[in-house]
Structures are given as C-alpha cells and as structure tokens.
Amino acid sequence: MNIREEVRRMKQDAPFAASSKEEVRNRALLLAVASLTEHAEEIFAANHEDLAAAKENQISEAIIKRLKFDEGKLADVVRGIEQLTSLPDPIHRVTLRRELDEGLLLQRETCPIGVIGVIFEARPDALVQISSLSIKSGNCAVLKGGKETVNTNRVLFRLIRDSVIEAGLPEHMLLQAEQHNEIDELLECDDCVDLLIPRGSNAFVRYIMDHTKIPVMGHADGICHIYVDKDADFAKAIPIIVDAKIQYTAACNAVETLLVHRDIAAEFLPALARALRESGVTIRGTAEVTDLIGGETVEETEFREYLDLIVSVKLVGGVQEAIAHINRFGSHHTDSIITENSGTAEEFMNMVDSAGVYQNCSTRFADGFRYGFGAEVGISTGKIHARGPVGLDGLVTYKYKLYGHGQIVGDYASGKSSFHFKDL
C-alpha cells in the first residue's frame, strides 16, 4: 500500500467528514455496535489466532493480557461506543460570538483536527476506541496497531469501516496500516497528516518525535505515584494501592512508586507489604524501607515504570518532599495522595505537576471511559492543546468565521468606521 497516496485521499475527504451531520456519525457508530456484536465469534476466532502466536513466541503474560479480546472486552467497547453516541456533538459548537461592528459578526466554532495518525500498542480494544472517537469527532484517521494482534485488528477494522461507509460518511475516513515500514512512510506525510498520536514504550514514542515534522501528542512514560500521608486512613490506603498496582498491571496508569510518610512507616508498611505480597507483588525499596519489610534494596534513581507486579517504595518526611520527588522523577501522568487532611490534599493537588492529581482513589481512574468521555485516543502529558485522557475535546480544534456586508479594513484604518466589540 502506498501510504502517501492513501493519506492524500483522506486529506481530500477530510472536509466532508468535518461537515458531516451528527446523526450520520452517530448512525455509523450504532451500525458498528451492531456489526461487532453480530460478528463476535469471527472476532474471537481471530483473537484466538493472535493469542496462540503470542504464546508460541513466548510473549510475557502481562502483554498477553493486553492482547486478549473476549466477551468482556467486547462488552466494554460496545458500552464505550454507546456512551459516545449519547455525548454532545463536539464539532460545530460556537464558543465565541462577537459583533465587531454593525453587520460584522465573528464566530469561533469547533472543528475536527483533520487527518490524525494513531500508532498504538497491541490492544484490539484500542483500535475500536480510537476509530470510534475519530468518527464521532469527524476526523479522518490512519490506524496502525501492534503486529501481535494483526488478525483481530483486521476483522475489527473491516467491520467498523464498513459501518462508516454504510452510514454515508466518506470512503477514505479510516485507513488501516499493517506493515512496520508504513510507520516511517506515515512520518514523512507532514503535508497531509495534521497530528500523530503514538502509544507505546518510551523508546518508541521518542523515535516518533525525533523522526517527523508532524505535531505529536502523547506521553512516553507512565511512572505514577501514590503518596500515603501521615493522616491517611489505612483502611482506604491499602485497597487503593493494591487496586492501582494489580487491577491492570500493564496499563500506563498503574502505580509504580509508593511514597510513605516516615511517621507511619513502622505501622503501615508491614500491613501494606502483606497485602501486596499476597497479590503477587514484588517490593523494591530504599534501604530505609527494606530494613522494615524486606525486599530488594535500590536507590530512588533506579525506580522506573515496570508494567509488571513490581512496585518501588520510599519514605518521605512529608507532603513537600513527596511533591518534590514526584515532580523530579515522575512522568507527569497521574499521581494520588491518600490523606484525610483536606489542606494537605489541596497542597499536593495544586503543586504536583501532572495531568491527573487525585485524593483517596486509585490512579487507574485515569481513563477516558471512566471520565465519561466514552473512550480515549490516548493520554497526553503535554500542556498544549490536550492533557490527560484525550477524548472528544482533545480531537477538535477551532476556526474563526467572520460574516460581513462589504466592510473593508481601509475604512477602519482611516477612521471612517470603528469597532465596538460586543459579545452576543
């Protein structure tokens, strides 16, 4: 497949997608729900092939868990699509209406970004989420999933693309890339592609950023923290930490580092260690930690993103030290404080420089579906345009529309006419 030629066709179709009616886009989503449900066994059979190949290639259990697409995953993506159809139309919304002068009206309206390229990890549900968000937001999208789920992705993409065409949306609204070399071809399409969203390892995301002129949105790491304050409720803290670590260990919003107030360490850490070890979690900690509960002793500079049943632990003297550690060693993704002290919580949430800051809850809530976005195309740790789980709002930009009646700038420059700027 010639990626450049295909993307040029998408660029030509992008205005038609952008001007499409909400009911047409919602119809495409509902047709996709019906098609995915009707062809469930075909999807599961393809996924079985991918899982068998993954096991034969000795891929880790943590990754295999991501590859699996079963009845539960299908039910989740269907709920996400249905939620998307119930959300307000993200495009054609007027966010500014101002009369510059009599008969000269300025409007700012939301519109799709245009053509986006999403290169994502081997997770079939990600393909459904990304394509659904693209449809709802009126964007054209190039989708490149991981090779480990090539069979599942191929079936899912066909069913969704057929639904798009049946609903009356542009034929080239969605494109699937399957070959690895097509990524490099896509990176060179800066004249056709408006935005790239890479999802994967730090090295992969950095590679994308370093080899394209196309704007890139996303995050490279998911080093999420939980700080257990001296005013924490232990009965809340332990279940929160266990959930954040084991509920979906391979996710970027799983907790990787725990910071515990030194004043409660002797009482809290043994109870926490028991709960973590009972869940199969290995503890790596500073010497101060391992002296209390055992485990592998490491320096804080060795803490990292594990995406596995491993967690780093360090003791701190208070919230300010915890904030300093997170801002230095974290990835600005999602960080949580466990405390009953509202003042301490507010200081933490104001001072931690992350896309998501929580009090008394699991970092695993950092998700577009759980935020009520329907789904997410990814999570951004950047500060320009979109931050945190990127749902519909992160896939639109805006344009200015000016309606006049023959006005010319020369009249305003000469003083013949003047602006009066009135918001309507």
Q: What is the pLDDT of residues 267-306, one digit of tens each?
A: 999 999 999 999 999 999 999 999 999 999 999 999 999 9
Burial environment of residue 42 by CB neighbours within 10 A (0 to 12, 13 to 18, 19 or more): middle
Burial environment of residue 95 by CB neighbours within 10 A (0 to 12, 13 to 18, 19 or more): exposed
CATH superfamily of 3-217+390-400: Aldehyde Dehydrogenase; Chain A, domain 1 (3.40.605.10)
- 385 confidence band (pLDDT: 50, 70, 90): confident
- % of the chain surpassing 90 pLDDT: 81
The answer for residues whose C-beta is within 8 angstroms of residue 147's C-beta and 6 or more apart is 122, 178, 180
Domains of the chain by residue range = 3-217+390-400, 224-365
Task: Provide the CATH topology of domain 224-365.
Answer: Aldehyde Dehydrogenase; Chain A, domain 2 (3.40.309)
CA separation for the pair 301, 6 (Å, rounded): 46
Characterize the bridge pairing of strands 388-389 and 396-403. unpaired
CA separation for the pair 130, 126 (Å, rounded): 6
Q: What is the pLDDT of residues 201-232, one digit of tens each?
A: 777 888 898 999 999 987 767 899 999 999 99
Q: Are 238 and 359 in contact (CB under 8 A)?
A: no
The answer for residues whose C-beta is within 8 angstroms of residue 315's C-beta and 6 or more apart is 259, 260, 261, 262, 265, 286, 288, 289
